Chains A and B, each alone.
Chain A
Amino acid sequence: MIGGEVKSSLGQSRGLTLPALLVGMALSTGLIAALIDVSVQLIATSTRVAHRADFLATVAHSIGALAATARSLSVEESTSAGTDISLRPCEPGLHPVGVWVLSPREINCASGLPDAPTSTVLLSSQILPCEDSCAGVFQRRRLWYRRAYAWRPGDERGALMVKEFDRQGAYGRAEMMAAGLVAWVGSNIISAAGEEGVQLETDWRLEEGVFWDDEEDGLSLNLTLFPSALSDQ
């Protein structure tokens, strides 16, 4: 630069003054800074949206699995209200078919389940067609319950868990259906037609900052399930 002008290697003036160059550089720097800032915000928003979509899809899958448990029963197969039934899922043999809300204390093999007085478990028992493992049909019995933590003890996120009984009545490791279940209250209900069903009130929450401002309270889903034969679209 000579005399405030930028010259090429051949010495030809390009007509750019030093102040113009400085202003241009300042504008470029400002533009780059703004672009970086916006990019960071877009990446953060995309991450939050992806987490949220994952969370919602997982909750939807879990609710769908719960509903499918009731849906796969026919009304004729379900145990009618008032019938004296014995819910001993840990014992071998055939069991009543349906869905029930129980206290862990009502299950004779509930060790390993949350046993706080307020906690409830959902017992589902359904008849399903066999695939490769057996011929005809088999009975699938599962316990659905809320665990106080999701990933590690003390994280206070809660999770919807399910345990499946084998034919001898024992169950193995629990499977986590969805993390973020902060409240789970269930009750048994009876329809006008005398069918037994369950009512579940569930509250879900993802990590801080993942929901939008209007979802600070998380997501409350109330579900009423009755055994029936259904189809959806």
Chain B
Amino acid sequence: MNRRTVLRFLSTSALALGLLANLPALADGLDSIKKAGTLRVAVPQDFPPFGTIGADMKPVGYDIDAAALIAREMGVKLELIPVSSTNRIPYLTTGKADLVISSLGKNPDREKVIDFTNAYAPFFNGVFGPADVKVSSAADLAGKTIAVTRGSVEDLELSKIAPTTATIKRFEDNNTTLSAYLSGQTQLAATGNVVAAALNERTKLRPLTPKFLIKNSPCFVGVNKGETALIARINEILAKAKKDGSLNQIAVKWLHNPLPADL
């Protein structure tokens, strides 16, 4: 290695270090959002009812309304960045977005890469049925018929926890399961709350109201590692929104059911 190469190496390293110091990830996120006056949020565009593209070609959905609520509380402008489910975390870690509000569930792998705030939306599998059927636990399923999609999480869990006198009817896919429920072939149906919401949106034939929960995996706001001030601020906003009912309004609007009490 001659002297010129060494020099070049040293100067590039110094330059790189200098650039690194200016990376947004190292600055305090909350401060830079306030300074910019804009909150950049990664939202889904292909996952109703959390995020779809509306008739006016703008993103709409639960996640978009939640993002708007947070931006409003922070007193900044909202910039929506439509993402897909595979690139939503890279958008955050590369500093292209300040927050990910994209029906993101928490799991250990993701927790290694990013941090999460408190939950802002319910996402669960459960047993659903008409309002007048009194069921609040697996034991209440005795003597009832439940439609379920064969091999789904609901099927595997219900097969374990349902009493022997309950009849679990297993159908090929989501649509057949829902048809069986809608045509009254079964008293109840086990499915995801999002599927139930989508069905309630499309038909008033036989609404699906939640009876009990099978598996819970609520959605969280994703934040870059180490942004403690930002996380605290968002948790504060979410707690206020849960208390004053504004988050519940969003839930009723998009999921057609109120927020579960334990969220």
Bound pair (A, B): no
Please give the residue numbers on chain A whose beta carbons come within 8 Å of chain B beta carbons, in ascending order.
Answer: none
Please give the residue numbers on chain B whose beta carbons come within 8 Å of chain A beta carbons, in ascending order.
Answer: none
